[in-house]
Amino acid sequence: MRVDVVTLFPDMIDAPLSESIVGRARNEGLLELGFSNPRDFAADRHGTVDDRPYGGGTGMVMMAEPVYRAIGKVKRKGTYVVLLTPKGVRFDQGLAVKLSAKKHLVLVCGHYEGIDERVSSSADLELSIGDYVLTGGEPAAVAVIDAVTRLLPGVLRKKDAAVNETFTDGLLEAPHYTRPGVWRGKKVPGVLLSGDHARIAAWRRRSAESLTGKRRPDLKKPPRAAGRKGF
């Protein structure tokens, strides 16, 4: 897979995605990561990419043309463009799976007070990673790329590593334990020491259902629509 990110601050994305599993995926050629900076397409020699908002208000707004041209630089046939914005559909594991099937993603990061609304028509999907405000789309891009990359074939060493985990089947994952069997007076559940795989699987399922019901009952609600233009 190739992912290109439209951003004013590529180092905010490149550095954290150069380590651990995603870094290894890049080194092995399973993920190609590139950047397109709107400042390279500014109309003046100062590299101006923002201006005051029409109608007044605080902050500055990223201008449409530099962002549009930065998208155009990396867009090709079959590209799927994702605009990262608090107004977008909320990102979840289901969307991560769908995005992992794309050959080429372009993630567009806003900054300041956001991007001129007219750029949104260039996106196939508007995406949010949660109900809070960040300084820009770069941290969101890191989260999306990380979640998508680990689903790519060959990235995780164990074939079922991305299957039996949190949010699979709309459930939180069952609790995990490791050695020692007793830690500060707290014991590992006996069933996990039984060697009976059927009993262990049943226990994990019950635990996952119970934990989800207590902490995230919303996960059992019908899923939201995939996005403005869908997949």
Phi, psi of 220, deg, nearest 5:
-90, 0
The percent of residues above 90 in pLDDT, for the chain, comes to 86
CB 91 within 8 A of CB 143: yes
Q: Where are the domains of the chain?
A: 2-149, 168-220
Q: What is the largest CA-CA distance in the chain?
A: 70
As a whole number, mean pLDDT of residues 104-131 equals 97
Give the tens place of pLDDT for each residue, 70-87. Answer: 999 999 999 999 999 999
Specify which residues 104 forms β-bridges with: 2
Distance, in Å, from the CA atom of 207 to the CA atom of 13, rounded to the nearest integer, reads: 36
CATH T-level topology, domain 168-220: Trp Operon Repressor; Chain A (1.10.1270)
Q: Any idea which of 48-57, 66-75, 115-124, 215-224 has the lowest mean pLDDT?
A: 215-224
pLDDT of residue 226: 45
As a whole number, mean pLDDT of residues 92-98 equals 96
Does domain 2-149 bear CATH number 3.40.50.1820? no
The model's confidence at residue 208, banded by pLDDT at 50, 70 and 90, is very high
3 state DSSP class of 81: strand
Residue of 6, 3, 8, 39 lying closest to 17 (CA atoms): 3
Distance, in Å, from the CA atom of 2 to the CA atom of 104, rounded to the nearest integer, reads: 5
Flag whether pLDDT at 222 surpasses 60.
no
As a whole number, mean pLDDT of residues 209-220 equals 91
Read off the tokens for 133.
């405000």
As a whole number, mean pLDDT of residues 223-228 equals 50
Flag whether pLDDT at 228 surpasses 80.
no
- pLDDT, the chain, mean: 92
Phi, psi of 6, deg, nearest 5:
-90, 110
Flag whether pLDDT at 168 surpasses 50.
yes
Q: Any idea which of 4-13, 20-29, 138-147, 162-171 has the lowest mean pLDDT?
A: 162-171
The model's confidence at residue 159, banded by pLDDT at 50, 70 and 90, is low
